Amino acid sequence: GESVGLHLPTLSVQEGDNSIINCAYSNSASDYFIWYKQESGKGPQFIIDIRSNMDKRQGQRVTVLLNKTVKHLSLQIAATQPGDSAVYFCAEPNQAGTALIFGKGTTLSVSS
């Protein structure tokens, strides 16, 4: 069925370290993936997206990697800052292509 999952519910890093947040998806037909960041008391905020014809995409301090062979998605955050502390969700369109389904999220805690 449709499901988007994450490997770890929590991740703790030191300020300045690189963070890697992982996500496994089940729908091999998915062609579009998105990462969201949700800070406490706020709605999910778009970070970066990637289409299935790519295996890597870079943004500002963030990189998304897509491995279609093992149906795995990761978000890498370079030089993690305290402001990066949040819950991170991966998402993909449902099979009908009408909405996004979300994984359960990884809570990133950055200590200084």
Binding site for another protein (CB under 8 A): 32, 34, 36, 41-46, 49, 89, 93-94, 96-105
Question: Which of helix, strand or coil describes residue 20?
Answer: strand
For residue 32 the two structure tokens come to 């579009």
Residue owning tokens 């014809």? 53
Select 54 or 79, whichever has its Cβ closest to another protein.
54
> In angstroms, rounded to a whole number, what is the distance separating the alpha carbons of residues 4 and 60?
25
Residue 79: CB minimum distance to another protein, A:
25
Q: In the complex with another protein, which residue's Cβ is closer, 3 or 111?
A: 3
Q: Which residues, at least 6 apart from 71, have a Cβ–Cβ distance to it below 8 Å? A: 24, 25, 26, 28
CB 78 to another protein: min, Å: 22
CB of 85 to another protein, least distance (A): 18
Beta bridge pairs of residue 92: 101
- Among residues 40 and 69, whose Cβ is nearest to another protein? 40
